Amino acid sequence: MKIYIAVDMEGISGIYSSEYLLRDGAKYAVGQRLATEDTNAAVRGAFDGGADEVIVADMHGMSGNLLVESLDPRALLFAGTPRVPRFAFLDETVDGVFLIGYHAMAGTPYANLEHTMSSKSWHKFTVNGKAYGELGIDAEIAAESGVPVILASGDDKLCAEAEHWLPGIETACVKHGLARQAALGLSPERGHEVIYAAAKRAVEALKAGKHYTLPEVVSPATVDITYKMMEDADAAEGFNAVRVDGYTIESRFPRLSDKYGGLWSDRGIEQKIH
């Protein structure tokens, strides 16, 4: 059984402010360690639940956040840029996906470090008129390969979003969002315990035959991005992108994954390392 773990940083145990997330942030080195520890908890839970193989994808920012020397040696690590498609090695051979350290979609009240893709420039992201966060985008991309998202970790708002989008998903709530830069959180040690237990349950249930929710595949996909500043919309307007209003740019794709480079299976590249 193969599990794919996508790792962001905003929803990691012990992180509550952007100082942990930015390479020039005062606490970025601490954020790297905390993200690696949450990831290792998920890896341990996956293997103890019955996984034979685990791939970890370092997805925050420009990647390169996880401390490779401290990563559980049983896991394979996908890191670096460019990421085309968004999730290399995520295809029909994967049995389930974990979304670790994720955050609620842009505009979620009281959510810790909420945003969708770009906290600096994106105000709202919709597909066929429905607002999506990163959890929804990534669950949709996985669903196009027939792979369910079986676990999500982050704050309580992210977990509620996950349970709304994917009924029956396992969630690991490691903090209670109070504001964009504030949270009431578990200690990292306790957060690791919660993530480990949820990861183990998720894989055990999958092995036992549980059918996790797959979101409906959207095809075709009309994507609208509303920017915070008109100058960002100015820059985005162009090929395959039309202006809807001063702040919103619309693009159309055969599938949502095509906005992010398509599916890995489209590449016909096999995984060779073991």
Q: DSSP letter string over 101-119?
A: S--PPTT-TT-TT--SS-T
Gap between the Cα atoms of 191 and 75, Å rounded = 20
Q: What are phi and psi of 265, to 5 degrees?
A: -60, -25
**Angle formed by the axes of helices 134-144 and 156-165, nearest 10°:** 40
pLDDT of residue 24: 95
Look at residue 198 and give its three-state secondary structure: helix
Helix-strand-coil split of the chain, %, nearest 5: 30, 25, 45
Domain locations in the chain as residue ranges? 2-215
Q: Residue 80 corresponds to which tokens in the numbers above?
A: 């670096």
pLDDT of residue 86: 94
Gap between the Cα atoms of 214 and 40, Å rounded = 26
Of 115, 123, 211, 274, the active-site residue reads 115
Enumerate the H helices of the chain as residue ranges: 28-49, 134-144, 156-165, 188-207, 230-236
Under 8 Å between Cβ of 10 and 3: no
Q: What is the pTM of this model?
A: 0.96
pLDDT of residue 240: 85
**Across the strands, what pairs with 6?**
57, 99
pLDDT of residue 269: 74
Q: What is the CATH number of domain 2-215?
A: 3.40.50.10780
115 flagged as catalytic: yes
Cα dist from 48 to 77, 197, 266, whole Å: 19, 10, 32
Gap between the Cα atoms of 270 and 274, Å rounded = 12
How do the pLDDT tens digits run along the chain, 274 residues long? Answer: 999 999 999 999 999 999 999 999 999 999 999 999 999 999 999 999 999 999 999 999 999 999 999 999 999 999 998 888 999 999 999 999 999 999 999 999 999 999 999 999 999 999 999 999 999 999 999 999 999 999 999 999 999 999 999 999 999 999 999 999 999 999 999 999 999 999 999 999 999 999 999 999 999 999 999 999 999 999 999 878 999 999 999 999 999 999 999 999 888 777 666 6
Judging by DSSP bridges, how do beta strands 182-185 and 242-243 pair with one another? unpaired
Give the list of residues 6+ apart from residue 158 with CB closer than 8 angstroms, or none.
11, 102, 103, 104, 111, 135, 152
Q: Residue 43 corresponds to which tokens in the numbers above?
A: 């890896």
**Across the strands, what pairs with 7?**
58, 100
HSE-CB at 58 with a 13 A cutoff on CA atoms is 21
